Structure 1
Amino acid sequence: MKPNPITAAPMDAAARKSIKPVICYPTDTLPRPDLSAYRALRDDMELIETVIIPPRDAATWEVPASHFCRLVCPEGPQVGDLNLFNLNNLNERFYSGKTRALNGTHVGLGDQLFSNFPYMRPIATITHDTLDWYGFDEFGGSVHDVIGTRCDPYTHNLLSHDGQYHHCCHSNLTRALAKKTGLSPELAEPHVHDVLNLFMCTGFTRDTGQYFMKASPVRRGDYLEFFAEIDLLGCMSACPGGDCSSEHSSDTAACFPLAVEIYKPKRLPQGWQAPPVNGYDRSHGF
C-alpha cells in the first residue's frame, strides 16, 4: 500500500486528471494474420507428439515452423508459465512487454506473440482459445496474462524470509532449460524470461494498482492453441500455486499436470510465409 500523498493537490488537479488517454501504440498499420487461413487447417491435422508437464515442475518441447501447438488442461484447474525461444537461437525469445504493448494485458484468439530486440517479429499466432468467453470480469480480471513476470525464489525469499524454495516457476523453467540445452543452471538461468501466464486470471486493483490473481476459470479439456511462425523451443512450468486462487509459491495448493500437443497440418496456410527478422537497420543514429 502506498503512503498517503504529502503534496497538496494543485488548483487544476481535476482538469489534469480529466484529460483523455491516448493509445501508445496504435495498431491500425500493424500487419494482422489472416486467422481464417490458419483455422482452415485445424480440422485436418495429425497429432505427432504429446508432452506431459508434472505438477510443480517444467518440461520442454519443440514446435517446427508451420505446426500447431496446443497447451491443454488435462485434469484439474492449473496455471502454466510459458517461455518460447527460437529453436535455433536462444537469444531470440518471447518478449512479453512488447506483446503486451501491442495486444493488451491479456492475449487470446488472433493475437500474436512477439520476440525481443533486435529480432522483434511475430513468432506465434494464437489460433484457438476455449476461454475466450471470459473477457474481463467485474474486478478487471482476465486470462492468459502478459503482465506478471513469473513466480521466482528471489522475490519469495525477499517477502517471506523462510529460506530456499526451489519449485517456483523461474526455478522450474531454469531446470528444464538446462536439461534440454546441456547448459549449467547458472548459464541457463539468464535465458529464462518473462512469461505468458497460461490460464492465469489476473488484473490490477482499481484503488491501489496492485497486481492481483484469482481462481482460474480453466477446467479439464480447456486449451490455448498457437501456430508456430518460426521453429520454436517451448518451456513451460506447471505453477506450484495450482489455479492461483490463494498463493503461487506453495507446497500445499492443489496442483495438476499440464499437457502439450504438437500437430502437423496437411498443408500450409494460404499465402503464409515465415516472418523475417525486424527490418530496422540497427544503426541507432550513428
Structure 2
Amino acid sequence: MICYPTDALPQPDMGRTVWLRDNPATTASVTVPPRDGRAIRVPAGHVLRIVCPEGPQVGDLNLFAADDLNERFYSGKTRALHGTHVGIGDRLWSCLPYLRPMATVVGDSLAWYGVDDWGGRVHDVIGTRCDPYTGRLLGGGDYHHCCHSNLTRALADATGLPLSQAELSVHDVLNVFMCTGFTREDGRYFMKASPVRAGDRLDLLAEIDLLAVLSACPGGDCGTVHSSDAARCHPLRMDVLAPPGGPPAGWQRPETSGYDRSHGRG
C-alpha cells in the first residue's frame, strides 16, 4: 500500500501561471558561478526560474521562508508525498511544524526524459548534498567547494549570519537537473550524466515569500565524480519572474499545518 495517499492534498491551480507564456518581466537575476553558491529572494506569486545557461550542470537547492530560517524545505516529506523525483504539479513542502507548500513545480524543460533503462530520473529529492564531512570520512581529504559548503557561504552572505550559524540551517536539497536512481541489485543511490543542456530550465512558483539558495555542484553534470575539481563545471542562473499586474486575483499564501501541538505535551 502507498504509505501517504495524497487524494486529500489540495491540488495546485496551474492556471495561475498562464502568464509565463507571455514573456514575463524578470525582476531579479543572479548567476551562480561553478563550484560556488548564491542566494536570491522570491516574493510569493512569482516564479523562480533555474536556468542552465552554458553547458551541462546540476545544482543543489535549499529553500527557506524569507522571514524565518526555521521554516525550510523538507525533502523527506516531499519524497514521501510525491516520490523520489519531482515534476510539473508536484510541490516542495516545508519542515515540521509548518508543513505547507513552499513552491510548486510549474515548468520543466527536461520533462521529456522520463525514466531511463537504469531507472534514472531527473530532479531528485533523494540525495542529501555533497559535503566535506562525508568526503573526509570516505576519502580522508578536505574539499571546500562541496554543495554543503557552497550553500553555507551563500546563506551566510545573504543573511549576515556567521558561517557557524548559517551551516546549521543548511538542509537536504532538491537536486536540480541531476539524474539519479537506485541500483536494482542492492538499492544503492547512483548518479549518471544529466541530460541537461544549455537553455534548459526548471520553474518553481513561490507559494510563500522565499529565500532560495543554490549551489552549482562541483560534479558538473555528475556523470563521473563529485566533490572534486576533476569535473568540467558551468554556471547556473536564478531568475525571478513577476506576473504582469501582480499575483492573480484571490491569491492566498498557504496556511501552516493546523495541528494543535498543545495536545501532545501532556
- The correspondence for 1:69, drawn from 48, 69, 79, is 48
What is residue 185 of structure 1 aligned with on the other side?
Answer: 163
Q: Distance in 2 between matches of 1:114 and 1:31?
A: 13
Note the residue ranges of structure 1 that are not aligned, 5 or more in a row.
1-21
Q: Percent identity?
A: 64
Q: Distance in 1 between matches of 2:37 and 2:20?
A: 29
What is residue 130 of structure 2 aligned with on the other side?
Answer: 151
Aligned CA distance change for structure 1 residues 284 and 168 (closer, same or farther; 3 Å): farther
Q: Give every structure 1 segment of 4 or more consecutive aligned residues whose post-TM-superposition deviation is greater than 4 Å.
A: none
**Does the 8 A contact of 2:130 with 2:147 survive in 1?**
yes
Classify the secondary structure of the residue corresponding to 1:245. coil
**Does the 8 A contact of 2:45 with 2:207 survive in 1?**
yes
What is residue 4 of structure 2 aligned with on the other side?
Answer: 25
Alignment deviations for residues 181-223 of structure 1 (CA, whole Å, 9 cap, x no partner): 1111111101000000000000000111000000000010000
What is residue 153 of structure 2 aligned with on the other side?
Answer: 175
- The correspondence for 1:119, drawn from 94, 98, 101, is 98
TM-score, structure 2 normalization: 0.97
How far is the alpha carbon of 1:276 from its aligned partner?
Answer: 1.1
Query: Highest Rg: 1 or 2?
Result: 1
Classify the secondary structure of the residue corresponding to 1:283. helix
**Does the 8 A contact of 1:46 with 1:264 survive in 2?**
yes
Question: 1:164-243 to 2 correspondence within 5 Å?
Answer: 164-243=142-221
Q: Please, which moves more after superposition, 60-69 or 263-272?
A: 263-272
How far is the alpha carbon of 1:270 from its aligned partner?
Answer: 5.2
Alignment deviations for residues 91-150 of structure 1 (CA, whole Å, 9 cap, x no partner): 000000001111100001111100000111001011100001111111111000000000
Aligned CA distance change for structure 1 residues 265 and 284 (closer, same or farther; 3 Å): same
Classify the secondary structure of the residue corresponding to 1:38. helix
Q: Please, which moves more after superposition, 172-181 or 72-81?
A: 172-181
Q: Distance in 1 between matches of 2:198 and 2:85?
A: 21
Alignment deviations for residues 226-268 of structure 1 (CA, whole Å, 9 cap, x no partner): 1111110010000000000011111020000000111110142
Q: Distance in 2 between matches of 1:90 and 1:171?
A: 17
Question: 1:38-57 to 2 correspondence within 5 Å?
Answer: 38-43=17-22, 45-57=24-36
Q: CA RMSD in A?
A: 1.1
Q: Distance in 1 between matches of 2:176 and 2:9?
A: 24
Classify the secondary structure of the residue corresponding to 1:262. strand
What is residue 72 of structure 2 aligned with on the other side?
Answer: 93
**Does the 8 A contact of 1:66 with 1:229 survive in 2?**
yes
Aligned CA distance change for structure 1 residues 139 and 284 (closer, same or farther; 3 Å): farther
Q: Distance in 1 between matches of 2:62 and 2:227?
A: 18
Note the residue ranges of structure 2 that are not aligned, 5 or more in a row.
none
What is residue 12 of structure 1 aligned with on the other side?
Answer: none
Q: Please, which moves more after superposition, 223-232 or 263-272?
A: 263-272
Q: Distance in 2 between matches of 1:161 and 1:277?
A: 43
TM-score, structure 1 normalization: 0.90
What is residue 273 of structure 1 aligned with on the other side?
Answer: 252
Amino acid at match of 1:90: L
